[in-house]
Structure 1
Amino acid sequence: MMRPFSSRQSRQLIASLLLPLSLLAAGGVAMAQTASPSYRIVGYAGGWNPAQTKDVGKIDTLIFAFAHPKGGQVVIDDHDLAHLHDLLALKKLNPRLKVDISVGGWTVGGFSEAASTEAGRQLFADSAAQLVAAQHADGLDVDWEYPGHHESGIKSSPQDKTNYTLLLKAIRASLDRVGAANGRTGANHYTLSVAIADGPFVDHVDIAGINPYLDWFNLMTYDFVNADTPTTGHHTGLHPSKLIQGDGRTTDRAVQQFLAAGVAPGKLLIGAALYGREFADVKPDHDGLYQTYGHYQDAHNWPELKQDYINKHGYVRYWDADAQAPWLWNAQTRSFISYDDPQSIAAKMAYIKAQHLGGIMYWEQTIDPSDELLDDMWKGLH
């Protein structure tokens, strides 16, 4: 689930964006090798931190988050356009970089309504394609969370399953039509991807039906445990833990679900999280892993985890060899944190290669200014 930034994250983002990109560019950028075309590294980004410019060559696609449906059309608020333009400016430093626009996000509605009629789907599709062309972007990402579901507070309908497929079909046609008028055809065509979950969150999605219209799937293989789940656990675990119950969600189970629906491995990008999730008042069995808890505490970005939590202040790091995932347990405060780290990232990169997947996607670019985990992704795929 792609959630809005917290107020603290927003302040950090705004502060970072005040640093002019030109200051770093003027001093020269140590460009890394561009990623192998065999694997795609894709990052969602609400903006750009100039401190990360040195690593722009490691990224294949940045997906701007977010545009929104308004009045049935896809639009970007005026105050967000500057953030998109910061991403587009990076193409001068890495000509192979693609910048797409994502529409939606957690709690963002308007999809079910727009998709419910042919006219609504056409208006949505045409406005999206025109926005991509007008901003000189490279494609569109649809982040409807989720068809047939209303957990995020959005409207849904039993007809969403059929209408979601029809909406993506209309978007694909509009992107192709507008692309042809702008010389974007063949290998340079406007791309279409989706941010999509797994398990029960795609019970109103015809995976096989939408597959022909998409260039790739961004599998949101994180937030498996969160404030709405009854226990702690690995929020972005690769494989099942011995303690996981029933059909609990994991990255591998998500991949197998989409493969079984007929999606080619190369079109699947698994997700990595640059943040962790903390639970409080946790039952202490198994050092808090897959236990009930009193309340959800907070999210912590990777730099914060390193500075204040991992093997600090009573938080002890543990490794689940079955799940290929770390966790932190504070026995004194009975606090539990699930997160991704270099070891779990390395396991995911090995899995991508073994399964011949399309690559890795992560949320979110600005919350790891050091690019440590991005660097681990890049090294793992090269």
Structure 2
Amino acid sequence: MKFSILIVVTLFAFISFTGCKPAQKPKAESNSKEYMVVAYVAGYRDFDFSTIDVSGITHINYAFGNIRDGEAVFDTTKIDGKNLTPDDLVKLNGLKSKNPDLKILVSIGGWSWSGGFSDAALTESSRKRFAESCARFVKDYQLDGIDLDWEYPNQVGAGNIHRPEDVHNFTLMLKAVREELDNLTVESDGEKHYLLSIATGADKAYVDNTELGKLGEYLDFLNIMTYDFYNGLHHVNGHHSNLNPSAQPDLDMNSVVNAVDLHTKAGFPVERINLGIPFYGRIWKGVEADGNQILFNKAETVGMGIDYVDFFQNINANGYTRYWDDTAKAPYLWNPEKKEFISYEDEESIAYKIDYLKKRGLAGIMFWEYSADHDKVLLNAALSNLKK
């Protein structure tokens, strides 16, 4: 979920920036619209899901389910050293006592478990088998729907099987899953609609290898992974979730605005798009910065993921200084002694993103992931701005 395949740019560039003074935040127009707030939760984290504050959350996507023998399954195999357990879903469903409107979905795939998608989507019979397993998954665990996170159709991802046929087969797979979920609706005498969503890549490669314009017929909504623009493949530091292009756009990997435009120009309805917000940063060590040239420099390491909860205490402290790129609307931390650079999300950048999504007419936000936040700082920033 958290990673994207992008081309490494190893260039030097000067970029203008302001210091630590907070820029004036945008004034969001008053809006009574109910926005979606989709929280991904990682089943492989050591976290008690019964403690989640769901007062402002509309959907929870549990990560992840796997694909085995062409079927969606709850896999108790370890991720990052922790076993997943179906007991997590019991706890998540229990949260409906606090928020009866809350929807619980399981996300199938992700970066580590997308290897089975291409084969599952290959033929009419394999798609039928997979779709039936998704419906069975929803029924067995009393879910409100299913989320597919194929990383990525017709792209290698984490060394996955992929083929050109993925582009159209993904559409056919979603059609098959939609039909099986609708069959569940019939079984409920039409009392319950079961949700189908996907997580999408933010770059042109993803858009070029899917049929986004056709997917709206089958999806309730989609969640763009608008983060990891500079990431764990890059020995050059940069913004990993900037709203706008920076002052040196030729050195940017992407921007939120560009990612949304790619999706809408491909034909997906803007009012069913959720904007992805990262509750984690990317840290580069051994950055060869010189003077004011902090962005877009070579580094000894790639941009490793680091949760907000693990670095928030370094914001304007412990040798780190917060900088604000007012063109990109993105913050970053710089420690000249340690030569460490952190690209991240904060209350100010979230305010600009919420203002943008309101003006653009998006459905709401998605974030990865709940346990990475510190004392709900980032979640509260998103919720408060959505309510304005």
Q: TM-score range by the shorter chain?
A: 0.7 to 0.9
Query: 1:348 deviation in Å?
Result: 1.0
Query: 1:315 deviation in Å?
Result: 1.4
Shift in alpha-carbon separation, 1:247–1:279, aligned structure 2, 3 A: closer
User: Matches of residues 244-283 of structure 1 in structure 2 within 5 Å?
Assistant: 244-245=249-250, 248-283=253-288
User: Matches of residues 92-131 of structure 1 in structure 2 within 5 Å?
Assistant: 92-108=97-113, 109-131=115-137
Matched residue SS, 1:213: coil
Shift in alpha-carbon separation, 1:51–1:99, aligned structure 2, 3 A: closer
Matched residue SS, 1:102: strand
- Residue 196 of structure 2 corresponds to residue 192 of structure 1: yes
Q: Which amino acid aligns with 1:40?
A: M
| Cα deviation 1:261-316 (Å, max 9, x = unaligned) | 22222111111111111011223144421222221263221122212x21222211
Query: 1:235 deviation in Å?
Result: 0.5
1:25 aligned residue? none
- Residue 354 of structure 2 corresponds to residue 349 of structure 1: yes
- Residue 88 of structure 2 corresponds to residue 59 of structure 1: no
1:157 aligned residue? 163
Q: Which amino acid aligns with 2:195?
A: T
**Structure 2 unaligned runs (5+)?**
4-30, 77-83
Residue pair 2:230, 2:303 contacting (<8 A) in 1 also: no
Query: 1:369 deviation in Å?
Result: 5.1
Return the alpha-carbon distance in structure 1 between the equivalents of residues 177 and 36 of structure 2: 23
Task: From 309, 316, 323, give the equivalent of 1:318.
Answer: 323
Matched residue SS, 2:228: coil
Shift in alpha-carbon separation, 1:287–1:304, aligned structure 2, 3 A: farther
Residue pair 1:279, 1:296 contacting (<8 A) in 2 also: yes
1:40 aligned residue? 36
Query: 1:246 deviation in Å?
Result: 6.1
Q: Which amino acid aligns with 1:172?
A: R
1:2 aligned residue? 2
Task: From 91, 94, 103, give the equivalent of 1:89.
Answer: 94
Shift in alpha-carbon separation, 1:272–1:153, aligned structure 2, 3 A: same
- Residue 336 of structure 2 corresponds to residue 331 of structure 1: yes
**Structure 1 unaligned runs (5+)?**
4-34
Task: From 220, 224, 233, give the equivalent of 2:229.
Answer: 224
Shift in alpha-carbon separation, 1:159–1:248, aligned structure 2, 3 A: same
Q: Which amino acid aligns with 1:300?
A: I
Shift in alpha-carbon separation, 1:129–1:151, aligned structure 2, 3 A: same
Name the % identity.
38
Matched residue SS, 2:354: helix
1:240 aligned residue? 245
Return the alpha-carbon distance in structure 1 between the equivalents of residues 156 and 229 of structure 2: 17
Matched residue SS, 1:296: coil
Residue pair 1:49, 1:369 contacting (<8 A) in 2 also: no
Count, aligned residues:
347
| Cα deviation 1:215-264 (Å, max 9, x = unaligned) | 11100001111121352211111111112326731111001111112222
Residue pair 1:330, 1:336 contacting (<8 A) in 2 also: yes
Query: 1:51 deviation in Å?
Result: 8.1
TM-score (norm 2): 0.85
Query: 1:153 deviation in Å?
Result: 1.5
Q: Which amino acid aligns with 1:365?
A: Y
1:306 aligned residue? 312
Point out 4+ residue stretches in structure 1 off by more than 4 angstroms. Answer: none
Residue pair 1:349, 1:381 contacting (<8 A) in 2 also: yes
Matched residue SS, 1:121: helix
Shift in alpha-carbon separation, 1:50–1:122, aligned structure 2, 3 A: closer
Task: From 324, 335, 358, give the equivalent of 2:363.
Answer: 358
Return the alpha-carbon distance in structure 1 between the equivalents of residues 121 and 365 of structure 2: 29
Matched residue SS, 2:173: helix
2:219 aligned residue? 214
User: Matches of residues 146-185 of structure 1 in structure 2 within 5 Å?
Assistant: 146-185=152-191
Query: 1:144 deviation in Å?
Result: 0.3
- Residue 287 of structure 2 corresponds to residue 291 of structure 1: no
Query: 1:36 deviation in Å?
Result: 6.7
Residue pair 2:215, 2:268 contacting (<8 A) in 1 also: no
Matched residue SS, 2:324: strand
| Cα deviation 1:306-355 (Å, max 9, x = unaligned) | 12x21222211100111111001111222111000111111111111111
Q: Which amino acid aligns with 1:160?
A: D
Over the aligned positions, Cα root-mean-square deviation in angstroms equals 1.9
Return the alpha-carbon distance in structure 1 between the equivalents of residues 304 and 209 of structure 2: 30
Return the alpha-carbon distance in structure 2 between the equivalents of residues 184 and 262 of structure 1: 29
Return the alpha-carbon distance in structure 2 between the equivalents of residues 292 and 173 of structure 1: 49
Shift in alpha-carbon separation, 1:81–1:359, aligned structure 2, 3 A: same
Shift in alpha-carbon separation, 1:149–1:203, aligned structure 2, 3 A: same
Return the alpha-carbon distance in structure 2 between the equivalents of residues 184 and 41 of structure 1: 25
Deviates more, 1:40-49 or 1:320-329: 40-49
1:137 aligned residue? 143
Q: Which has the higher contact order (CA 8 A, sep 6+)?
A: 2
Residue pair 1:51, 1:369 contacting (<8 A) in 2 also: no
